[in-house]
Structure 1
Amino acid sequence: MPLNILFAARPERWAEYETPLRAAFDKAGLGDYTLSMDIPPEDVDYIVYAPNSPVQDFTPYTRTKGVLNLWAGVEQITGNETLTQPLARMVDDGLERGMVEWVTGHTLRYHLGMDAHLFGQDGVWRKGAPPLAKDRPVTILGLGALGRACAETLAHLGFPVTGWSRSQKDVPGVTCLSGDDGLRRALASAQILVLLVPYTPQTENLIDADALDTMPAGAFIINPGRGPLIDDDALLARLDDGHIAHATLDVFRTEPLPADHPYWAHPKVTVTPHIASDTRADTAAEVIAENIRRGEAGEPLLHLVDRDLGY
């Protein structure tokens, strides 16, 4: 019996993903399969899924062996009580490398003080070189696949990197902390702070007024993780009083960011339109194909979501 694989995402994504998925499925040796956006629910074996898909009720998918998310974030679907099938989040090399490049670029921008030279051409000859990387502590909150990759890259460049996660991790060359006390220690040294923790009820407003006050004066914040990790009013207050020097924000509670939001006009905020990293169809297809191969071989799926933790 052929495998029936439902592509459940917005229609415009079909043209982007169909060819890479078919190539990856053939390479993985899946054999006879049907890949379509239109398969009766009771016949579906696997769902290649985007959380903004029209598919929101998983009850009819009684034969489905796995829901394979195209996004790294799963907070929009973990609370769906009809989703009882195994759920795998997206962890792929393209997503990871894109995040590493974006985070490294903005970290170096802050470290080198590039904005002063890009936007401060006022005829004043200001001498003074930036410190070396070894004298610029960076903290990364979140040591999953993306956080770990960013931490390893920045440590390789010579930055003293502290990583914090909910459960204790071990990353060579990185000071790894966990727990509430560990979070305060991680924040206290963060001249540059990168937010890559998943969004859960426990991490909402993780960066509140108290967290901001714990950071060194003149610190920088980079958020490519999730918008609700930051208490927006608290951040704006600390930007206004100078305790936080600047923030680069790629994610927001409401997206697109409303045109009247104070972040747009704030001189100490850089807004980027959720471009830090994105799922690349070619590399994501390989992850999807491998998970289907594993499912058919009776092997555990990769990157399964813990419903209790929310990621």
Structure 2
Amino acid sequence: MKIVLKVGGARADWWKDHMAGLLPEYEVILAEEVVDKDIIDFAVVWLPEPGWLKSFPNLKCIFSIGSGIDHILKDKELPQHLPIVRLTGTDLSTRMREYVVLHVLRLHRRLPEVEESQKTEEWNQIIEPPANNRTVGIMGLGNLGADCAQILSKIGFNVLGWAKSKKSLEGVESFVGNSGFDTFLSKSDIVVCMLPLTPETTDIMNASFFKKMKNGASIINVARGPHLNEEDLLVAIKSKKIRSATLDVFNNEPLEKGHPFWKHPNVLVTPHIASLIDPVAGGKAIADNIKNFVLGNTINELIPPGKNY
């Protein structure tokens, strides 16, 4: 059987070599190497161009190089009969957990101000309350969001969680749907967006959202760029309604040169690295899912045709 691999940049050959080693009985072909599209059985992809997937007439399943599948679903020409398999795993969770905890603590302990003080050789002892006097709100309580919420709770933070359905997590106060949204925002000092990208969550962090937050609160976005209205955020920071933003995802990636975020003193830009998947971290899980699909075994991460998440 043959697999087409669609991943950009210098990592493509690394992915190909690693996947070929994990699946020696399969032929792994990079997207730019495909000569005969009729022979392709599976597609392993990140950010496929619109219309590209439909060009493989005998494709049986699509495997996402990432936990989200919005980068696939946004293709308006996507064949509707194909199942899609999300990528999950310990390494994915660990990396996301590391990033979220790191940046929550960075904001909690006001490290940007400490770093600025060093530049001016100022002995500035900033006193902040302990974690149990700080409230962190996690938007989205799927596998990754729930994991981060519980870790932050164990560190000592007051943790709130918001999702479209009721979740019961130890150490996390749960808020549900529209009825709980405003209270969730008004109580949170730091809001972390970990939502899936759907029509309902697109542009959710907008001017109305920021008005409902605490004065001087901060946001962290590790979900998807389109969750955030970038212009509204800049206005909210300028008015000092929002203190700061830590952004790992953007509407357009790579973030274009000259974008206001790059040099903004209250915005930290990271280049979509919160839970960046490399072949070693993600390859085995994808290979196992391909084998299970062929054998007809249950795959927990499989999204049936027509479903979003």
TM-score of the two chains, using structure 1 as the length reference: 0.88
1:9/1:54 contact within 8 Å kept: no
1:51 to 43, 47, 65: 47
Q: Indicate the residue corresponding to 1:176 in structure 2.
A: 174
Q: Indicate the residue corresponding to 2:27 in structure 1.
A: 34
2:83/2:305 contact within 8 Å kept: no
2:222/2:248 contact within 8 Å kept: yes
**C-alpha displacement at 1:141, in angstroms?**
0.6
**C-alpha displacement at 1:309, in angstroms?**
5.5
Q: Indicate the residue corresponding to 2:84 in structure 1.
A: 87
The alignment status of 1:117 with 2:110, answered yes or no, reads no
1:189/1:216 contact within 8 Å kept: yes
Q: Indicate the residue corresponding to 1:248 in structure 2.
A: 246
2:139/2:194 contact within 8 Å kept: yes
**C-alpha displacement at 1:53, in angstroms?**
6.0
More deviation, 14-23/149-158: 14-23
**C-alpha displacement at 1:203, in angstroms?**
0.8
CA distance in 2, matches of 1:127, 1:245: 19
Root-mean-square deviation over aligned CA pairs:
2.3
CA distance in 2, matches of 1:234, 1:307: 35
**Amino acid in structure 1 at the alignment position of 2:114:** H
Change (3 A) 1:93 1:52: same
CA distance in 1, matches of 2:8, 2:106: 36
Cα shift readout 1:177-205 (whole Å, capped 9, x = no counterpart): 22112222221111011111122221111
Task: Give the % identical residues.
Answer: 31
**C-alpha displacement at 1:259, in angstroms?**
2.4
Q: Indicate the residue corresponding to 1:69 in structure 2.
A: 64
**C-alpha displacement at 1:212, in angstroms?**
0.9
The alignment status of 1:145 with 2:138, answered yes or no, reads no
SS of match in other structure, 2:302: coil
User: How many positions carry a matched residue from both structures?
Assistant: 303
Matched ranges for 1:1-311 at <5 A: 3-10=1-8, 12-25=10-23, 32-37=25-30, 38=34, 40-52=36-48, 56-58=52-54, 60-62=56-58, 64-80=59-75, 81-83=77-79, 84-121=81-118, 122=120, 125-305=123-303, 310-311=308-309
2:3/2:44 contact within 8 Å kept: yes
CA distance in 2, matches of 1:232, 1:307: 32
Change (3 A) 1:8 1:274: closer
1:95/1:280 contact within 8 Å kept: no
Runs of 5+ unmatched residues, structure 1: 27-31
SS of match in other structure, 2:71: coil
1:4/1:43 contact within 8 Å kept: yes
Cα shift readout 1:31-63 (whole Å, capped 9, x = no counterpart): x3333333733333322222236971425432x
**Amino acid in structure 2 at the alignment position of 1:135:** N
More deviation, 294-303/94-103: 294-303
**C-alpha displacement at 1:125, in angstroms?**
4.6
TM-score of the two chains, using structure 2 as the length reference: 0.88
CA distance in 2, matches of 1:117, 1:11: 36
SS of match in other structure, 2:261: helix
CA distance in 2, matches of 1:90, 1:165: 21
Change (3 A) 1:79 1:115: closer
Change (3 A) 1:107 1:297: same
2:114/2:126 contact within 8 Å kept: no
1:137/1:189 contact within 8 Å kept: yes
1:59/1:82 contact within 8 Å kept: no
**C-alpha displacement at 1:95, in angstroms?**
2.3
Change (3 A) 1:267 1:196: same
Off by >6 Å, runs of 4+ in structure 1: none
Cα shift readout 1:247-306 (whole Å, capped 9, x = no counterpart): 111211122222232222322212222222211211211111221221122123331236
Cα shift readout 1:106-134 (whole Å, capped 9, x = no counterpart): 10011111122111234555455211111
2:206/2:229 contact within 8 Å kept: yes
Change (3 A) 1:282 1:120: same
SS of match in other structure, 1:220: strand
CA distance in 2, matches of 1:207, 1:10: 29
**C-alpha displacement at 1:94, in angstroms?**
2.1
1:8/1:49 contact within 8 Å kept: yes
